[in-house]
A = this chain, B = another copy of it.
Amino acid sequence: MPNTVEIPVSALENDAAYRAAVIDLLGLLAYGELEAFERLAADSALAPTIDDMGALAGHAAAEQRHYELLRSRIVELGADPSAAMAPFVAPINEFHARTVPSDWLERLVKAVVGDGIGADFYREISRFVDADTRAIINQVMSDTGHSDYAMAKVRAAVQADPAVAGRLALWARRLLGEAVTQAQHVIAERESLDALFMPNATTALAASAASAAATASAPAASAATLDLAEIKNVIERLTDNHYQRMFALGLAKTSERA
């Protein structure tokens, strides 16, 4: 993981563009968590046993707590949570509409892939925010226990019937593709997030980042600019992590990309 940019917490008060970007980011994460709650609750309702039903209800409730945390933080920053979430309803719903699982195993794979990409995204974005915002993101990233649960179930199913692996591997690839597509839409449509990912793109954010870099260690200064090379690196890391998860699920022969 590359260096972290130390944006001062005071930027939330002094820097309107940075503040707007953080509220946008929190809105995106909040709606993402709320949707994760809905998805896990729906999985719970369709679970094959009462045990699974109860376990998934617990995972859903953990996502609801993450949502609540993000929502409270948006209120704390003086913004309206519904307004902050609104721009992200369409792309997140679109992702789910384009990736409706056709059975229980596809649901589990979607949970593992979706949670994984989400956690990777949180980890990347947390490099470009102030310490207070990073603390919230880290709390929200804390495991709900769901990935381990879903991963164990998928692995067991693949071992019991290796024939399902091909179909599930294709499904996972489609999920990754749709997630990247919707992420591109979000970044293209929300200039503030764009600014967060590329701090040099706006004067205000550049000023924040520069003043922060001045007090941080030298390597952080270059990390502040998420330029094209850096974006390529981010995508590389996300993809590498995805292939590692595929291997862990028993859906790929190696953890390297084909």
A257 at the interface (CB under 8 A from B): no
Which of A37-45, A103-111, A127-135, A220-228 interfaces with chain B?
Answer: A37-45
A82 touches B50 (CB 8 A): yes
Contacts of A60 in B (CB 8 A): 37, 41, 60-61, 64
A42 and B67 alpha carbons, distance in the complex (Å): 17
- Which of A53, A67, A81, A82 is the most central at the interface, judged by chain B CB atoms within 10 Å of its CB? A53
A86 at the interface (CB under 8 A from B): yes
A49 at the interface (CB under 8 A from B): yes
Contacts of A42 in B (CB 8 A): 41-42, 45
B67 touches A64 (CB 8 A): no
Assuming A38-B45, A54-B71, what are 15 further A-B pairs, CB within 8 angstroms? A34-B50, A34-B53, A34-B54, A37-B41, A37-B61, A38-B53, A41-B45, A41-B60, A42-B42, A49-B82, A50-B81, A50-B82, A54-B67, A60-B64, A61-B65
